[in-house]
Amino acid sequence: MKITFYGHASLGIQVDDVHILVDPFITANPKASAIDIEQLKADYILVTHAHQDHIVDVEAIAKHTGAVVVSNFEIVSHFEKLGIEGHPMNHGGTWDFEFGSVKYVNAIHTSSFPDGSYGGQPGGFVIEGERKNIYIAGDTALTYDMKLIPLQTKLDLAILPIGDNFTMGIDDAILASDFVECDKVLGYHYDTFGYIEIDHEVAKRKFFEKNKDLMLLEIGDFIEL
Ligand code: NI
Ligand code: MN
């Protein structure tokens, strides 16, 4: 499994030869100007919630690639009206895709579309690939629901928001890492805007002091599990 950071909460996940994008917010992110969405491959686009900073490039990439949008029922219905193929889910549901299973799990946040219309309830994803399992938390507060995840899934990586203000910050993300029983964390949803700027060294040191590994990738960089 190869995981590429495209800035903010945007990720590329490659499982064998299947390409998955998560929450593409690239053309509206000045920090991600080196990423050309025309070059991105996508068989699926996973969308955690309807906020602008998670959906802005979904339509263009889906139309360009023919990718299937996987999200909650309301978000999938929104994109189906634009002629995009979708796979609707809702909280607690799991579906077996060609690359592995995807469970849509709880997130504590909100989920309106940029025009204010209802975007369903926000979520995160637990992906069980053939060899590796990951949790993509989405925008969320720390929540006890995270403790449900390791009852069923042994995670290899937790992707957690760490920017604070709109989501968990560093200290809550450390507790979230305990809750999901995964000490290997990829941080996201930080530095994009003034409200969510973090001190990288402080963040890494706090994780290190709890015997945890916080990875912060440069935009365009990737890790392999
Ligand atoms: Ni949000
Ligand atoms: Mn967000």
Ligand 2 centre distance from Cα of residue 161 (Å): 9
**Spatial CB neighbours of 121, under 8 Å, sequence gap ≥ 6:** 72, 91, 111
pTM to 2 decimal places: 0.98
pLDDT of residue 121: 98
* Burial degree of 66 (CB within 10 A; 0-12, 13-18, 19+): exposed
Mean pLDDT over residues 141-163, rounded? 98
- How does pLDDT run across 184-220, given as a tens digit for each residue? 999 999 999 999 999 999 999 999 999 999 999 999 9
Ligand 1 centre distance from Cα of residue 71 (Å): 14
Ligand 2 centre distance from Cα of residue 34 (Å): 21
User: Which bound ligand lies closest to the C-alpha atom of 122?
Assistant: 1
Residues 121 and 110: beta-carbon distance below 8 Å: no
The structural domains of the chain, with segments of one domain joined by +, span: 2-224
- How does pLDDT run across 72-110, given as a tens digit for each residue? 999 999 999 999 999 999 999 999 999 999 999 999 999
Q: Provide the CATH topology of domain 2-224.
A: Metallo-beta-lactamase; Chain A (3.60.15)
- How does pLDDT run across 118-141, given as a tens digit for each residue? 999 999 999 999 899 999 999 999
State the Cα–Cα distance between residues 63 and 162, nearest whole angstrom: 31
Q: Which CA distances in Å does 220 have to 38, 59, 168, 172?
A: 14, 21, 24, 26
Ligand 2 centre distance from Cα of residue 160 (Å): 12
Ligand 2 centre distance from Cα of residue 53 (Å): 5
Sign of the torsion angle spanned by Cα atoms 214, 138, 63, 90: positive
**Spatial CB neighbours of 38, under 8 Å, sequence gap ≥ 6:** 64
